[in-house]
Amino acid sequence: MSDFTYLSSSDDDDNYNYSDYKQHEDEDDDEDEEELHDGFENDDDDEWNTSSSSSSSQVITKESLLAAQREDLRRVMDMLNLSEQHARTLLIHHRWDVQKVLAVLVEKGKDRLYAEAGVTVLDRKCLTSQSSSEVTCIICMEDISVEEVTEMDCGHCFCNNCWTEHFIVKINEGQSRRIRCMAHKCHAVCDEAVIRNLVSARDPDLAERFERFLLESYIEDNRMVKWCPSVPHCGNAIRVEDDQYCEVECTCGKQFCFGCSSEAHSPCSCLMWELWTKKCKDESETVNWMTAHTKPCPKCHKPVEKNGGCNLVSCICGQPFCWLCGGATGRDHTWTSISGHSCGRYKEDQNQKAERAKRDLYRYMHYHNRYKAHIDSFKLESKLKESTQNKISILEGKDTTLRDFSWVTNGLYRLFRSRRVLSYSYAFAYYMFGDDLFRDEMTKAEREIKQNLFEDQQQQLESNVEKLSKYLGENYELYDKGKVMEIRMQVINLSVITDKLCKKMYECIENDLLGSLQLATHNIAPYKSKGVEKASEFPIWSTKANIADSHDLTHNTKIDGVTVESNGPSGTQNNESGSSTRKHTNNGSGGSSKKQRADYESGCSTRKRGRREPHGDGLFDLNLPAEVLDKS
Amino acid sequence: MVDYARVQKELVECNRDKDISGVSIELDNGDDLSHLSGRITGPIASPYEGGIFQIDIRLPGGYPFEPPKMQFITKVWHPNISSQNGAICLDILKDQWSPALTLKTALLSLQALLSSPEPDDPQDAVVAQQYLRDYPTFVGTARYWTDTFAKRASVGTEEKVQKLVEMGFPEVLVRKTLDIVGGDENLALEKLCTG
Ligand SMILES: [Zn+2]
Ligand SMILES: [Zn+2]
Ligand SMILES: [Zn+2]
Ligand SMILES: [Zn+2]
Ligand SMILES: [Zn+2]
Ligand SMILES: [Zn+2]
Ligand SMILES: [Zn+2]
């Protein structure tokens, strides 16, 4: 394998070390390995700590699921003067999009809105109060006492046994969210209270599952809500306010792209990221290239690459051989024959194809190497966390006039954040300027202009990040005060610069690179100086009051008791208990937050962070994934 | 699991007016109420007129809350019925099933389907294409299939069935075997003997 490094040594820039690549592939097997956290604190800095209310995303725990759902139910109930179950039916039909319900109401009118969703609002609950004491249920074909039959809002009446059977079948089919009436061609959705009562009389466990399905519809049928992709599942879901293309962090610490549920990957679009990870995993390309482009030397068996047009190749051991049959030959050759052997296949073939494949691979390697280099640096730098703590304590002990070390922590955050942006920016560039996605959208000249523009910014960012890394890696704890102050100045400056450059790069991507494209839509999660946004917890308590003043208290408390555990996307939830003891900040006035965040500049914060510390009691919480910390 | 009381009632109710409705249901397998055999007469003024079509009916555990499974035993040339295996494409046998429907209503729906095919939602693409592009040929083929596969039952087969039943084979098996071998009495006997 190591023989192979000499292959591309002719081109320094594109130098490609196969064994490195291989190693990287191996690492990829460990999925978490590549997950990067830039470790910013979102919500504990006073200057923009309108705290949780500043988040545009919220964590929905199993405790707050009901409250979150009820918020939307309320709006529809109030708007249309509907019962809760009818509001739920409407919302489920429209995937919990209150705006959509409104739009349909305006566009098509109330009747159509209701009919399409299967809502029947009728007050004729007296059809069965006929004189006779028995009615024939046409399902079981028995005469049943009127006490034992139930009439739905749609006016269809069947015996309780039959209803129960029907509900059980539908719940088991996973159709809890819209169980229709049993009558042929009746589209009415059944009253959930009736379902609840009848099913729990027969099978309380199933009734509980029914409740859960209804509750979880809020997550699973909802565009703006997604399960947290943590494994094992933390039990939470995240709700975003208005932008589905964002990156969020769950209270469990999992950071992810809301658009595709994989790790946060901006400035790559979800599609780019999907393609990129697939490509990185797909080793076959390299293997193919190897088979297509190298042949083992018949003498020493090292792989030899074909260089140039003719089919006589020479190994560095000096052995010439025929590229087509692999047989050893003499040196003398023409375009049609090589001395010392005759395989009859010696001609110009497939050269262009091979050249193209080679170009493609080199191009990929170019971007991948840089992408990987920044990830590697990130991992190395994460060790700085501990050493920085030591340095700070040494400095604190040494000189009492040096009190404020927030520049170090902020500098580190900035370094992690920028590294991350940098590494993903190479995956972005690979697709932005490659043939896969935008070939028909840009002329060659346009592409070149864009590429130059982007690479300028990328290089600026890169050099500043390296400088920042260098200063933060110095042993400043050994320096005198003047020198420390000098480094402090540099770190603060570089932090501000890299933050600005990152922001500029995102703007360039949005406005100059993608903005002018017509066909493809690539939504990039916006740049956040402070890193991936931590979702705030959805407040339970404020809405609890609503529950109480709404109807049917008993049944609500029952829903509250429902355990969401064995459910969730992977079925492997491992809920932390005691979440009821969490603090819940009232989600009062949001709005101002975005502006504040945008105005935030790194290095300005002078406050130490006093947040709960999951990895020992250090001075600050980088919130790195455990596996990165363990490695360091 | 199956609501047998209801199935019993359905059988009685359905067969009461079978001469008028043109559909009937029999037990297919001894006392097993979950495996039935339906018959429908080909609708008048359709290429299926004069034919008698046998339908295999299997009732799932959740019947009538789950739809019955139905399949043509008799070969039939129809856009919504597989010419290969008799599988039926009909909404009420799938998601549009309602427990308020019965086996009889389902068979009547099949009868109606024979009268008015829905080639836009085909089960058999070949037949559907022919139906749409070359209707006369379709009618010819459908009629030929009816004559070949759906009529023998009413003409010569009853005698053959009777003969074989008298030899000691169960009627259902006899009918099935005759169907499989295309009505050839000797082949059927051979098959019945070899099991
Ligand atoms: Zn009943
Ligand atoms: Zn109804
Ligand atoms: Zn989580
Ligand atoms: Zn994504
Ligand atoms: Zn060699
Ligand atoms: Zn040459
Ligand atoms: Zn050769």
Structure tokens at B153: 């039952």
**Rounded CA separation A529/A420 (Å):** 12
pLDDT in tens, A549-558: 433 333 333 3
Distance from CA of B64 to the nearest CA of A (A): 8
Residues on chain B touching A168 (C-beta within 8 angstroms): 65
In a domain, A403, yes or no: yes
Residue A169 to residue B65, Cβ atoms within 8 A? yes
In a domain, A417, yes or no: yes
Pairing of strands A247-249, A533-534: parallel
Structure tokens at A587: 């989600």
Rounded average pLDDT over A610-618: 34
Q: Is the pLDDT of residue A378 over 70?
A: yes
In chain A, the percentage of residues whose pLDDT exceeds 90 is 28
Find the CATH number of the domain harbouring A423. 1.20.120.1750
pTM for this entry:
0.58
What SS3 state is found at A175?
A: coil
**Mean pLDDT, chain A, whole residue set:** 74
**What pLDDT shows up at residue A605?**
34
Residue A169 near chain B (CB below 8 Å): yes
Of residues A322 and A444, more confidently modeled: A444
The helix or strand, by DSSP H or E, that contains position A278, with its residue range, turns out to be helix A270-281
Burial of A427 (C-beta count, 10 Å sphere; 0-12/13-18/19+): buried
Phi-psi region of A625 (alpha: psi -120 to 50; beta: other; left: phi over 0): beta
Cα of A58 vs centre of ligand 4, distance in Å, is 18
Place of tokens 């830039």: A38
To test the contact with chain B by mutation, choose from A137, A139, A170, A175 the residue with the greatest count of B C-beta atoms within 10 A, namely A139
CA distances (Å), origin B149, targets A437, B19, B77, B169: 57, 21, 10, 22
Q: Are B33 and B2 in contact (CB under 8 A)?
A: yes
Place of tokens 């690492």: A27
The closest of A457, A453, A450 to A527, measured between CA atoms, is: A457
Structure tokens at A123: 């007050």
Q: Are A217 and A250 in contact (CB under 8 A)?
A: no
pLDDT in tens, A86-109: 999 999 888 888 888 999 999 999
Eight-state DSSP code of residue A570? T
**Rounded CA separation A3/A9 (Å):** 12
Confidence of residue A244 (pLDDT cuts 50, 70, 90): confident
Burial of A434 (C-beta count, 10 Å sphere; 0-12/13-18/19+): middle
Residue A184 to residue B6, Cβ atoms within 8 A? no
Residues B4-150, CATH architecture? Roll (3.10)
Residue A169 to residue B5, Cβ atoms within 8 A? no
The answer for B 58-97 residues in CB contact with A (under 8 A) is: 62, 64-66, 92, 96
CA distances (Å), origin A569, targets A171, A228, A231, A566, B142: 18, 9, 10, 10, 50
Sorted by sequence, the CB contacts under 8 Å of residue B37 that are 6+ apart come out as B25, B26, B27, B28, B54, B55, B56, B57, B73, B172
Q: Is the pLDDT of residue A370 over 70?
A: yes
Q: Is the pLDDT of residue A180 over 70?
A: yes
A239: β partners: A58, A225
Omega within 30 of 0 (cis) for the link into B64: yes
**What is the ipTM, given to two decimal places?**
0.76
Burial of A432 (C-beta count, 10 Å sphere; 0-12/13-18/19+): buried
Q: Which ligand is located closest to the Cα atom of residue A262?
A: 4
In chain A, the number of structural domains is 1
Q: Which ligand is located closest to the Cα atom of residue A342?
A: 7
**What pLDDT shows up at residue A15?**
40
**What pLDDT shows up at residue A553?**
34
The secondary structure of A149-167 as a DSSP string is: EEE-TTS-EEEHHHHHHHH
Distance from CA of B85 to the nearest CA of A (A): 27
Identify which of A244-248, A254-258, A540-544, A588-592 has the greatest average pLDDT: A254-258
The closest of B11, B16, B66, B64 to B38, measured between CA atoms, is: B11
**Rounded CA separation A106/A122 (Å):** 21
Residue A206 near chain B (CB below 8 Å): no
**Rounded CA separation A535/A55 (Å):** 6
A220: how many CB neighbours lie within 10 A of its CB? 17
Confidence of residue A603 (pLDDT cuts 50, 70, 90): very low
The closest of B109, B130, B118, B127 to B43, measured between CA atoms, is: B109
Distance from CA of A165 to the nearest CA of B (A): 7
Closest CA in chain B for residue A180: B98
Confidence of residue A625 (pLDDT cuts 50, 70, 90): very low
Structure tokens at A235: 């039990």
A407 phi/psi in degrees, rounded to 5: -60, -30
**Rounded CA separation A260/A247 (Å):** 10
**Rounded CA separation B21/A28 (Å):** 68
* Domain boundaries defined on chain B: 4-150, 157-194
pLDDT in tens, B65-81: 999 999 999 999 999 99
pLDDT in tens, B132-163: 999 999 999 999 999 888 886 545 667 777 78
Residues on chain A touching B99 (C-beta within 8 angstroms): 139, 162, 165-166, 182
Structure tokens at A50: 């309108």
In a domain, A52, yes or no: no
The secondary structure of A350-418 as a DSSP string is: SHHHHHHHHHHHHHHHHHHHHHHHHHHHHHHHTTHHHHHHHHHHHHHHH-TT----HHHHHHHHHHHHH
CA distances (Å), origin B163, targets A270, A300, B153, B181: 72, 84, 14, 16
Tell me which residue range forms the domain holding A447.
351-531
In a domain, A438, yes or no: yes
Query: In chain A, how many H helices and how many E strands?
Result: 18, 15
Residues on chain A touching B106 (C-beta within 8 angstroms): none
pLDDT in tens, A146-169: 999 999 988 899 999 999 999 999
In a domain, A521, yes or no: yes
Dmax over CA atoms of chain B, in Å, equals 49
**Rounded CA separation B153/B147 (Å):** 10
Q: Are A104 and A94 in contact (CB under 8 A)?
A: yes
Structure tokens at B193: 């003997």
In a domain, A448, yes or no: yes
Q: Are A118 and A88 in contact (CB under 8 A)?
A: no
Query: Which of these ranges, A146-150, A352-356, A372-376, has the smallest mean pLDDT?
Result: A352-356
Of residues A625 and A71, more confidently modeled: A71
In a domain, A274, yes or no: no
**What pLDDT shows up at residue B159?**
73
Residues on chain B touching A141 (C-beta within 8 angstroms): 5-6, 9-10
B88: β partners: B81
CA distances (Å), origin B27, targets A78, A139, B12, B36, B78: 56, 21, 12, 5, 26
The radius of gyration of chain A from alpha carbons, rounded to an integer in Å, stands at 32
Q: Is the pLDDT of residue A325 over 70?
A: yes
Q: Are A585 and A53 in contact (CB under 8 A)?
A: yes
The closest of A12, B181, B125 to B192, measured between CA atoms, is: B181
In a domain, A338, yes or no: no
**Rounded CA separation B136/B76 (Å):** 17
